[in-house]
Amino acid sequence: MSRIVLGVSGGVAAYKAALLLRAFTAAGHDVRVVPTPGALNFVGAATFEALSGNPVTTDVWSDVHQVAHVRIGQGADLVVVAPATADLLARAAAGRADDLLTATLLTASCPVVFAPAMHTEMWLHAATQDNVATLRRRGAIVLPPAVGRLTGPDSGPGRLPEPEDIAALATVVLGSGPDALAHDLSGRRVVVSAGGTREPLDPVRYLGNRSSGKQGWAVARVAAARGAEVVLVAANVDLPVPFGVRTVPVGTAEELRVAMLAEAATADVVVMAAAVADFRPESAAATKLKKGAASEPDSVPLVRNPDVLAELVTKRAPGQLVVGFAAETGDEDGDVLSHARAKLARKGCDLLVVNDVSGGQVFGRAENTVVVLTADGAVTEVPQGSKDAVAAGIWATIVPRLHDDSRR
Ligand code: CTP
């Protein structure tokens, strides 16, 4: 259990703070909500008190004997401000202490995460961008806002990331520290494949696999939080798109191959987290296969699909890092790691993220554990954790290997 301060400033998205609060308390954290007075125009203090089980005050004149404006910040393991309005970011950057939330920000020595939400013009304004840069320079994590529907008919960057995304990233910071979301992929282009391909047998049937896409999603989400421009080539995944990420939906291995080769041409990092079918039916029937019909097949001949990862390696741009995934089981020929080392060498990628799937233990599960092998011989164990925590561990291995001269 951690002590989380949830700061809420005065924007329409304040109602989503209630969902974020629920996510934190459901995970067992002790949450103290500190709204600005403006936030209470959108959501009442009673809602935050009932959901957190803790008192809610906005000013520094309540409970003065407990010195709340100092104690709340000092006692926190993490401060998350969601939504962070343009005004809140400005006051935080200026070091003001004109309400309980800004006073708390000045006394907190723990990691601080801001999740901005405002109209696009306000987000893009040089004043806001300068304030964000100042806060980041001081070590705060400022998540990029999502792109999408804003209040009223407007749409663009400025939407609050989904509460589940914020909770997932806050949990990464709690587990791995603020460096896990350092803003060091700014200006970098990252392409991630996720999900599992489906190879059609006829218009209604396909050969597929059990990949949920969650690990690739987390890899994309963490990269976006670190400032990268992220493209997610998504094979049959129906999950909410992480903020800051553009998706390219694909179905078959061949469609995935075409999309990956196109997107990878200008990428700094390519991550092949998708489960690509190695084989596909030789031909897909144009109409549904029916039992008893003359067209009823005795068997389904399969042909090999292209190896997308191997092709990406041969076509990789100078300085580009290519990361493969391997789901392995040990057998009489060797253990998981020896199979993985052989695969890293065979595929020629720079890093290989290895999942031990003996007994089908990873698919669809929230928790994961991996080992990252690198072509330079290093072996990094990423401890058991959420798929976001694992994604953070994977990026911690990738980032130091990025070449400064590979920016394109
Ligand atoms: N992969 C790919 N194209 C394929 C098969 C796999 O790009 N046709 C990629 C996966 O996205 C993953 C990596 O290759 O990043 C390893 O996938 P895996 O299925 O474990 O490897 P295989 O080449 O199928 O090796 P093996 O059959 O020996 O297990």
pLDDT for 157: 85
- Provide the pLDDT for residue 147: 82
**Band (264; pLDDT cuts 50, 70, 90):** very high
Q: Which CATH class is domain 189-407?
A: alpha beta
Using the predicted structure, report yes or no on whether residue 405 has a pLDDT greater than 80: no
Instruction: Express as a percent the part of the chain with pLDDT over 70.
Output: 97
**What's the chain look like in SS3?**
CCEEEEEECCCCCHHHHHHHHHHHHHCCCEEEEEECHHHHHCCCHHHHHHHHCCCCCCCCCCCHHHCHHHHHHHCCCEEEEEEECHHHHHHHHHCCCCCHHHHHHHHCCCCEEEEECCCHHHHHCHHHHHHHHHHHHCCCEECCCEEEECCCCCEEEEECCCHHHHHHHHHHHHHHCHHHHCCCCCCCEEEEEEEECCEECCCCCEECCCCCCHHHHHHHHHHHHCCCEEEEEEECCCCCCCCCEEEEEECCHHHHHHHHHHHHCCCCEEEECCECCCEEECCCCCCCCCCCCCCCCCCCCEEECCCHHHHHHHCCCCCCEEEEEEEECCECCECHHHHHHHHHHHHCCCEEEEEECCCCCCCCCCEEEEEEEECCCCEEEEEEEEHHHHHHHHHHHHHHHCCHHHCC
Compute, in angstroms, the gap from residue 276 CA to the centroid of ligand 1: 6
At residue 106 the predicted structure's pLDDT band, cuts being 50, 70 and 90, is very high
Is the C-beta atom of 309 inside 6 A of ligand 1? yes
**What is the best residue among 199, 209, 343, 394 to mutate for testing ligand 1's pocket, by most ligand atoms within 8 Å of CB?**
343
Q: Does residue 70 register a pLDDT over 80?
A: yes
State the fold for domain 3-181.
Answer: Rossmann fold (3.40.50)
Distance of CA 368 from the midpoint of ligand 1 (Å):
19
Mean pLDDT of 265-277: 97
Query: Rounded mean pLDDT of 362-389?
Result: 83
Structural domain boundaries of the chain? 3-181, 189-407
Q: Which pLDDT belongs to residue 403? A: 78
In this prediction, residues 131-158 reach a mean pLDDT of 89
CB 123 near ligand 1, within 6 Å: no
pLDDT at 169 over 80: yes
pLDDT-derived band at 273 (thresholds 50, 70, 90) equals: very high
For residue 216 and ligand 1, the question of a CB distance below 6 A is answered with no
Mean pLDDT of 364-386: 84
The mean pLDDT of 290-312, rounded to a whole number, is: 93
Min mean pLDDT across 5-9, 100-104, 213-217, 386-390 is at 386-390
For position 386, what pLDDT does the model report? 87
**Average pLDDT in the 286-291 region?**
92
Q: Is 252 in the pocket of ligand 1 (CB under 6 A)?
A: no
Q: Does this chain's domain 3-181 share its CATH topology with 189-407? A: yes
Model pLDDT, residue 325: 96
* 197 or 408: which leads in pLDDT: 197
pLDDT tier for residue 59 given thresholds of 50, 70 and 90 = confident
Higher pLDDT, 347 or 153: 347
Average pLDDT over every residue of 371-382: 92
